[in-house]
Chain A
Amino acid sequence: MTATADVRQETLGVQTATAVRTPRYRLRRKLATLALLAPALLGLLIFFVYPLIASVYYSFTRYDLVSPPEWIGLRNYEYLFTKDPKVVIAAINTFWFVSIMVPVKIIFALLIAGLLARARAASGFWRTLFYLPALVPPVASVVAFVFLFNPGTGPVNQVLRFFGIQGPLWFNDPAWSKPSLLLLAIWVMGDIMIIFLAALLDVPREQYEAASLDGANGVQQLRYVTFPNITPVLLFALVTGIIAALQYFTEAAVASGVASGKAVVGEGTGNNLGYPGNSLLTYTEWLYVRGFSQYQLGYASALAVLLFVVSAVILVLLLRRFKAFTPEGAA
């Protein structure tokens, strides 16, 4: 309804404008629009369109940055799908973060947002407290967690010992390294928690009142009033979360570097990525190792093209679903 009214108003506006303005004015306006957009257009071409095309080209070549790319057809892809010893491990690790970390983080963010909304603590002290960890620079939060969970003298295992529990080796044990990063992800859930909180507070009061007049109990109100209202935000968090998890890199790389006690510096960069025992080797880390530690830029481009295809499938789902991401999507 509103949209129709808007369109009508706008058409009227354009008509009056064209009736009054000269062709020269319209040309000037077009040039002005182009001038406003020029930097961004150029940026999209240089840093987005060209690299996408170039990635596909490089993926059919052998290229080490020193000698020019040499065409080798599908050999990179053949190696990727049949011979690469670690790509499967890396893909499975990334899949773990996509399929476990994303939903767990969303559930915790939703629970805490619900608690804050119910306790009428939606602003001020409590919100800030639960948001604060999300503000900590990721590198700092990972370094802090590797310290807190260090098996020897870390405060977490100290506290567990106080209760008579022998804590695990956390970031130093292949079985516990991913769950340790999961705990970190829960700790920094603040940004999606704030989005959920705003959505929960936006649910019209009257709908709850109407439901309760109809005799709906608490669970039914949650099911039939709260959830339908926050579904768009939940889906938004899910899909952006999946996109972020597909490129999961910083937390895993820093955790490996700090827990192994070896610097992630220069030549040795690739050596401790994945520590302990490849358990934290993500897909994007593997792309980085092949491309920038071993300078196999052609093969790394094949890995990048595969990442692009997977992300694109998820993006298509996203673009269809969300009003904010469509041109009409407005405030």
Chain B
Amino acid sequence: MTTQTGLSKPGFAPSGLSRRGLYWVGEHAVLVALGVLFIAPIVFVGLTSLMSSEQTLTASLWPNPVQWSNYLNVFTQVPLLRWFANSALYAVLATAFMLVSSVPAAYALAKIKFPGSNLLFTAIIVAMLLPPQVTAIPVYVMWSGAGLTGTLWPLILPNLLGDAFSIFLLRQFFLTIPKEYADAARVDGCTEFQVLTRVVIPMAKPGIAATGIFMFFHSWNDYFGPLLYTSENSDWWPVAYGLASFRGIHGTDWGLTMAMTVLVMVPVVVIFFFAQRVFVEGITMTGVKG
């Protein structure tokens, strides 16, 4: 109806159709403008990473000549391979340890009734939300006593004893699995451990993957932890921490600094594009069930 009137009076006040068309154009114009603003920082970082040190100090924004050697030179300026290896060690072990310890705990919280489960769950929520600085001092004193300060082990090993945020998130995923599946397996004589490995884990793979990726990114991006434990021992720096100190050590070469910035981003962005669906589902899971 509206469409018909609209078409019959094309020259007059905005009809249903053309008003909708105007909205469409307006909305997409704003989207494109905002999109350009949001992508511009990454573009400028990429362009600058290909500039010579002298060129970064000029007004031109386009690299000329394109200096790919920045990406090689960062590896000789700082022990970048070692820092990448440290980051990989931290992120891979922290994630693996977290999964081994947190999946069983999350399963028990989601699928087994036991006395004190509510109290335990509340404690995990508080541990997850409390600023890490509140507990940092006694924990540091403990690791100092164990002689492990100056390494990344104080950040890796605790994951063997569960990670509060991961337990919370895994539990949220496990709750979405209908309890009939677990009950059926129990009736068939499965032990709790078998219910976990044969029923729950196969059904919750996307959730486990999302939680693992969050942990991997969290460790890869961590700054406060490495600052606390490794700041005086650059042999143990992860790459993100090394990047924060790079410009101080190597003067004002923005070209090299931006090349290293790109290198720190790349692994995270690559993992994201391979696991985008699972990842977005995970983010939504943290908030929407509020």
A: residues with CB less than 8 A from B are 10, 13-14, 17, 28-30, 32-33, 35-37, 39-44, 46-52, 54-55, 58, 65, 112, 115-116, 118-119, 121, 126-133, 135-140, 142-145, 147-148, 150, 152-153, 155, 158, 187, 191-192, 194-195, 198-199, 202, 232-233, 235-237, 240, 243, 246-247, 249-250, 253-254, 257-258, 261-267, 269, 284, 287-288, 291-292, 297, 300-301, 304-305, 307-308, 311-312, 315, 318-319, 322-325, 327, 329-331
Contact = CB atoms under 8 A, between A and B. Distances in A.
Contact of B252 (A261, A264, A315): A261
Contacts of A10: 113, 179
Interface in B121-165: 121-127, 129-142, 144, 158, 160-164
A195 B161 contact: no
Nearest to B267: A137
A115 B27 contact: yes
B56 A323 contact: no
A277 B108 CA distance: 51
B24, B161, B286: residue with the most chain A Cβ atoms closer than 10 Å = B161
Contacts of B193: 32, 35-36
B161 A48 contact: no
B272 A135 contact: yes
B202 interface: no
Contacts of A28: 191
Contacts of B124: 40, 44
Interface string B27-64: 11011001100111110110010000000111101000
Interface in B176-226: 176, 179, 183, 186, 191-193, 196, 217, 220-221, 223-224
Contacts of A194: 280, 283-284
B203 to A, nearest CB: 13
A48 B57 contact: no
Contacts of B141: 54, 65, 297
5 contacts: A44-B120, A191-B283, A243-B129, A266-B231, A327-B122
Contacts of B276: 128
Nearest to A231: B290
A121 B117 CA distance: 42
A40 B126 contact: no
